[in-house]
Amino acid sequence: MANSWTAEPERWATIDHSALAHNINMIAKWVKPAQVMAVVKADAYGHGAIEVAQTAVAAGATWLGTAHVREALALREAGITAPLLAWLHTINTPFDAAVAHNIDLGVSGPEIEAVAEAARTAGLPARVHLKIDTGLSRNGAVPEVWDALCRRAAELQQSGLVRVVGVFTHFAVADDPVGESAVDEQLRNYHEAVETARKHGLTVDVRHVANSPALLSRPDTHLDMVRAGVAIYGLSPFADRAAEELGLRPVMSLGTTVAHNKPANEGTGVSYGYAYRCETPTRLALIPVGYADGVPRSAEGAPVWIHGNYYQVNGRIAMDQFVVDLHTSRDDETTAPVGSQVELFGSASGIAADAWAQAAGTINYELVTRIGSRVPRVHKQWV
């Protein structure tokens, strides 16, 4: 509810739907005739799953992907009807609801029995994508049980409980040129697995293997569909190539306003542990976001933009806030006064989420995905 006292957000993650549509469009053209699955797990990597899914479908994604069935169900509840695949299950996954709501299921092994049971309950065949572990060692059936899994899937398909729609796998090192040969090997294993499935009479209409790094660097992985995650958010999956070079436009900007501005003396200790001390008389700006908002505590030294100027995080990032040394004179009240616009990364500053990720010793994926629920997402519509 919009109360008068909450009309303007105090901190925001702006989600640029024009950029999102641009990225999806670009990827769709690049991989054509392969289809694009927009991966919207983890609340669309922190961008807002429902809003992102809507724009993704309007911009040319023909499939949506989530890790959990419950994430997929939330999209169905929001009225999203596009084909939807979920692939990470537990003994407590609501397969009944998944089948009833036409959610395709990744199947890696014995859970095919629970899926078939859910189909019996729902009175509908379960749509299944069999997953082969070609070398990542997460889920997926290992090659020695693949034949048995295909045989069982074919039996269940015969009895009308299962309909095998696709076969898929996931790469381990597609983001690194030294992984070329590992991708080659996984791809070889994958094609063999598809052959085995076909020998069992399964049709395998949708073959899909590529994540963002693979779809951007290896056209031979496009097959019938790509599963595009981080790239649709305008972020590069490669350590050595910026989003810009790939033609991608970052979707999320993270901002707030200066909450406090005050003078400080030479030698003043800043924030917990005095990890920073002012070297000269100066002024300090207080930035009201911290690790509870997903700003990593470890990102000391990360860049910060305040009303057109660039600074950095000085001292420890706390739960709710951090401090920036403005490096100005002690009595300067005009630089970054209270209320000045602040951006940690995004379109006003041109600071990449990667810079924050690097300062924190992590990757852009984690940085954006962990922006907290205390930060409202402000959706800028696609124009």
Ligand X SMILES: *Cc1c(COP(=O)(O)O)cnc(C)c1O
Minimum CB–partner distance for residue 230 and ligand X (Å): 4
Q: Half-sphere exposure of 209 toward its Cβ, with a 13 Å CA cutoff?
A: 29
Cβ proximity to ligand X: between 66 and 282 the closer is: 66
The three-class DSSP label of residue 299 is coil
Residue facing ligand X at closest CB distance: 229
Cβ proximity to ligand X: between 37 and 313 the closer is: 37
Other Cβ atoms closer than 10 A to 259: 18
Minimum CB–partner distance for residue 268 and ligand X (Å): 43
Q: Report the C-alpha gap between 208 and 214 in whole angstroms.
A: 11
CB 378 within 8 A of CB 16: no
Q: Report the C-alpha gap between 365 and 289 in whole angstroms.
A: 19
Whose structure tokens read 């924030």?
A: 271
The three-class DSSP label of residue 22 is helix
Cβ proximity to ligand X: between 11 and 129 the closer is: 129
Cβ proximity to ligand X: between 59 and 231 the closer is: 231
Q: Which two tokens stand for residue 93?
A: 């996954």
Minimum CB–partner distance for residue 95 and ligand X (Å): 18
Cβ proximity to ligand X: between 85 and 313 the closer is: 85
Active site residue 233: no
Minimum CB–partner distance for residue 274 and ligand X (Å): 39
- Catalytic: which of 41, 276, 291, 365? 41
What does the DSSP 8-state code read for residue 239?
A: T
Active site residue 272: yes
Residues 6 or more apart whose CB falls under 8 angstroms from that of 102 comprise: 76, 84, 127
Minimum CB–partner distance for residue 297 and ligand X (Å): 24
Minimum CB–partner distance for residue 227 and ligand X (Å): 4
Kindly list the strands in the beta sheet with 322-325, ordered across the sheet, starting from the edge strand earlier in the chain: 260-264, 282-287, 322-325, 309-314, 303-306, 341-345, 252-257, 11-16, 377-380
Whose structure tokens read 């500053």?
A: 349
Cβ proximity to ligand X: between 232 and 306 the closer is: 232
- Catalytic: which of 32, 199, 272, 274? 272
Cβ proximity to ligand X: between 223 and 313 the closer is: 223
C-alpha distances out from residue 108 to 86, 154, 171, 233, Å? 12, 14, 15, 28
CA-nearest of 99, 91, 112 to 72 is 99
Residues forming contacts to ligand X in the complex (CB under 6 A) are 39, 41, 67, 87, 170, 211-212, 227-231, 237
Minimum CB–partner distance for residue 85 and ligand X (Å): 9
Q: Report the C-alpha gap between 136 and 92 in whole angstroms.
A: 24
If you count them, how many residues does the chain have? 383
Q: Report the C-alpha gap between 297 and 35 in whole angstroms.
A: 39
Q: Just list the catalytic residues.
A: 41, 272
